[in-house]
């Protein structure tokens, strides 16, 4: 593609972001922080969310976010529900709304529900009285930009022109601010036309306020959209690969951490994203792979669809395999036993629970008629009840509450428990930060620990008296030592 700096382009002075969620909020807060000359307004239909963004208690927990927001809020960063004014004054609009997997209709369980993207796009078309650059920020299936362009072209006011860009976000939750301040790359996709290239240059200029221009890459729209899905699919594939190997390790006496380390030292493979776990969660991996599967099927490529689907299947297998190991260690029944579940977020340093492996574990334990006492340092109680009711529609909240207790701290969770299950790798759960002697004294004996995140020092805990079972490591009684 031609260099974007060759075409004249508009300097962006005002930005509007539609959607004040995990992506839109931190991304545009960082843009405002790094570009004091640009006015950034983040809008959302959800009044409570906007109120929280305007308060001392932000709606999202993300290390470093508070400082970034406080430094810019009221200066050049604003949070509002006045969508119309924000759209109208902006030169550039990010569409950063949610794109969940469809729950019904064609493509149910696989395709993305683009209802929110469509409605945000229609609002732009109906409300804008001057030309705009519209940027697709949410993760979307390949060629969504085409649908957005059609809606904009068909509904815009006369004389109002829209240029569409794709600018997928690669931040990971828990490290969002670090990722945004120091991205590996920024990807901007546009139509390869003079006006498309000019729009891309305007956005390149915004990021160039703090990102080296060499790391800002421009591609065609479809490459940009597809790259986001592929990046997530490749990352998730690494986790499913190492998780598949963890099953072999448990059966043979190989140690998955040692295998990952030995393999990761090969520079062609690399050490990252090879941490075996109870399964990946988060709002992106599963959704994006299923999008890729749906896309492959729509393109009549069933082998490609099956190939990627296996990454998600392996993830489900890992969660049920871990549960089976827990049941078999606890003398083949969980009935009437208390399980202390440590962690409900899908990873550490976030309060987000979307697709968290912990939700599945909790439901599996309930099905086995256990009592689950769960503790997470950041997840809100209301969110836990919402997740548990949504994933067990056959049970009402009262029924669930008879089996699930939300504990105030890990010690309360472990009181009279038969087992601790570590599902999220929060630093506070490490044996250097929690008093495991005290936890042991509070529990029924034999006291079990199941480490689904490889964060505990097994010999140290065994010395205390715990029976310890770790993902990707054989049980002591397997006899391979």
Nearer to ligand UDX, 60 or 133 (CB): 60
CB of 401 to ligand ADP, least distance (A): 26
Structure-block tokens of residue 54: 């305007």
DSSP string, 112-171: B--HHHHHHHHHHHHH--S-EEEEE-S---TTHHHHHHHHHHHHSPTT--EEEEE-----
Picked from ligand UDX, ligand ADP, none, the partner binding residue 15 (CB below 5 to 8 A depending on kind) is none
Picked from ligand UDX, ligand ADP, none, the partner binding residue 321 (CB below 5 to 8 A depending on kind) is none
Question: Are 480 and 253 spatial neighbours (Cβ–Cβ below 8 Å)?
Answer: yes
Site string for ligand ADP, 31-50 (x = CB under 6 A): ------------xxxx--x-
CB of 22 to ligand UDX, least distance (A): 8
Nearer to ligand UDX, 152 or 177 (CB): 177
166: contact with ligand ADP by CB under 6 A? no
Of 361, 347, 415, 418, nearest to 391 by C-alpha is 361
CB of 274 to ligand UDX, least distance (A): 6
Stretch that binds ligand UDX, among 69-77, 166-174, 216-224, 462-470 (CB under 6 A): 166-174
CB of 124 to ligand ADP, least distance (A): 9
CB of 410 to ligand UDX, least distance (A): 19
Site string for ligand UDX, 262-301 (x = CB under 6 A): -----------xxx-x--xxx-xx----------------
Question: Are 422 and 393 spatial neighbours (Cβ–Cβ below 8 Å)?
Answer: no
116: contact with ligand ADP by CB under 6 A? yes
Question: Are 429 and 411 spatial neighbours (Cβ–Cβ below 8 Å)?
Answer: no
Q: Which residue is nearest to ligand UDX (CB)?
A: 282
422: contact with ligand UDX by CB under 6 A? no
**Binding-site member from 24, 279, 377, 410 for ligand ADP (CB under 6 A):** 24
Nearer to ligand UDX, 27 or 35 (CB): 27
Phi and psi of 317, rounded to 5°?
-60, -40
Which residues are marked as active site? 284
- Measured CA angle at 86 (ends 84, 92), to 5 deg: 120
- Measured CA angle at 346 (ends 247, 264), to 5 deg: 50
**Binding-site member from 169, 205, 349, 418 for ligand UDX (CB under 6 A):** 169
97: contact with ligand ADP by CB under 6 A? yes
351: contact with ligand ADP by CB under 6 A? no
> Residue 441: is it exposed, middle or buried by C-beta count within 10 angstroms (0-12/13-18/19+)?
middle
Structure-block tokens of residue 427: 């630093």
Nearer to ligand UDX, 163 or 169 (CB): 169
**Binding-site member from 44, 173, 376, 387 for ligand UDX (CB under 6 A):** 173
**Considering only residues 203-232, where is the footprint of ligand UDX by CB under 6 A?**
232
* Residues composing the chain: 481
19: contact with ligand ADP by CB under 6 A? yes
> Residue 299: is it exposed, middle or buried by C-beta count within 10 angstroms (0-12/13-18/19+)?
exposed
**Considering only residues 334-353, where is the footprint of ligand UDX by CB under 6 A?**
346-347
Residue 49 labeled ligand binder: yes
18: contact with ligand ADP by CB under 6 A? yes
What are the Cα distances from residue 469, in Å, to 2, 9, 323, 366, 441? 56, 59, 12, 21, 19
CB of 170 to ligand ADP, least distance (A): 13
CB of 170 to ligand UDX, least distance (A): 4
58: contact with ligand ADP by CB under 6 A? no
Nearer to ligand ADP, 138 or 371 (CB): 138
Phi and psi of 219, rounded to 5°?
-140, -175
DSSP string, 238-290: HHHHHHHHHHHHHHHT--HHHHHHHHHTSTTT-STT----S---SSSHHHHHH
Structure-block tokens of residue 397: 């909240």
* CA separation for the pair 195, 191 (Å, rounded): 8
CB of 119 to ligand ADP, least distance (A): 4
**Considering only residues 279-308, where is the footprint of ligand ADP by CB under 6 A?**
283
Strands (E), 306-438: 338-342, 371-375, 404-406, 419-422
Residue 256 labeled ligand binder: no
405: contact with ligand UDX by CB under 6 A? no
What are the Cα distances from residue 236, in Å, to 38, 102, 364? 36, 20, 23
21: contact with ligand ADP by CB under 6 A? yes
> Residue 11: is it exposed, middle or buried by C-beta count within 10 angstroms (0-12/13-18/19+)?
exposed
**Binding-site member from 55, 85, 119, 146 for ligand ADP (CB under 6 A):** 119
Site string for ligand ADP, 77-96 (x = CB under 6 A): ------x------------x
Helix (H) or strand (E) holding 91: none
Picked from ligand UDX, ligand ADP, none, the partner binding residue 280 (CB below 5 to 8 A depending on kind) is ligand UDX
**Residues at the interface with ligand ADP (CB under 6 A):** 18-24, 43-46, 49, 83, 96-98, 116, 119-120, 123, 138, 283
């Amino acid at each position: 593609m031609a260099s974007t700096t060759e075409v004249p382009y508009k300097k962006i002075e005002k930005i509007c972001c539609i959607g004040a969620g995990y992506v839109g909020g931190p991304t545009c807060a960082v843009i405002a922080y790094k570009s004091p000359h640009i006015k950034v307004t983040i809008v959302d239909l959800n009044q409570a969310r906007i109120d929280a963004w305007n308060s001392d208690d932000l709606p999202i927990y993300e290390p470093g976010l508070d400082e970034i927001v406080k430094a810019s809020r009221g200066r050049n960063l604003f949070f509002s529900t006045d969508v119309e004014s924000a759209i109208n004054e902006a030169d550039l609009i990010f569409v950063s709304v949610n794109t969940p997997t469809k729950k019904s209709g064609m493509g149910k369980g696989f395709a993305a529900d683009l209802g929110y993207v469509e409605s945000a796009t229609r609002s732009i078309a109906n409300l804008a009285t001057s030309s705009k650059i519209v940027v697709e920020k949410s993760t979307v299936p390949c060629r969504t930009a085409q649908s957005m362009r059609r809606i904009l072209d068909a509904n815009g006011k006369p004389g109002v022109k829209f240029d569409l860009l794709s600018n997928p976000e690669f931040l990971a939750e828990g490290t969002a601010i670090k990722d945004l301040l120091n991205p590996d790359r920024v990807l901007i996709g546009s139509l390869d036309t003079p006006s498309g290239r000019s729009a891309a240059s305007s956005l390149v200029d915004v990021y160039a306020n703090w990102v080296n221009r060499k790391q800002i890459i421009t591609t065609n729209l479809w490459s940009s959209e597809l790259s986001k899905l592929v990046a997530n699919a490749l990352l998730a594939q690494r986790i499913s690969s190492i998780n598949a190997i963890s099953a072999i390790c448990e059966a043979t006496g190989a140690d998955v951490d040692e295998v990952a380390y030995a393999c990761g030292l090969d520079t062609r493979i690399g050490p990252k994203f090879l941490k075996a776990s109870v399964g990946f969660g988060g709002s992106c991996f599963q959704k994006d792979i299923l999008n890729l599967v749906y896309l492959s099927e729509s393109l009549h490529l069933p082998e490609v669809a099956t190939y990627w689907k296996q990454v998600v299947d392996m993830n489900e297998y890992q969660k049920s395999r871990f549960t089976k190991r827990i049941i078999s260690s606890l003398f083949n029944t969980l009935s009437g036993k208390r399980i202390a579940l440590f962690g409900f977020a899908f990873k550490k340093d976030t309060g987000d629970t979307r697709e968290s492996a912990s939700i599945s574990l909790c439901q599996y334990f309930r099905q086995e008629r256990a009592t689950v006492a769960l503790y997470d340092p950041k997840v809100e109680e209301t969110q836990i009840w919402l997740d548990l009711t949504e994933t067990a529609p056959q049970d009402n909240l009262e029924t669930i509450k008879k089996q699930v207790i939300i504990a105030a701290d890990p010690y309360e969770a472990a009181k009279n428990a038969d087992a601790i299950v570590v599902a999220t790798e929060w630093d506070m759960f490490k044996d250097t930060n929690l008093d495991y002697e005290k936890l042991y004294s509070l529990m029924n004996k034999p006291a079990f620990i199941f480490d689904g995140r490889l964060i505990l020092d097994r010999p140290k805990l065994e010395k205390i008296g715990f029976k310890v079972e770790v993902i990707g490591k054989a049980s002591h009684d397997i006899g391979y030592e």
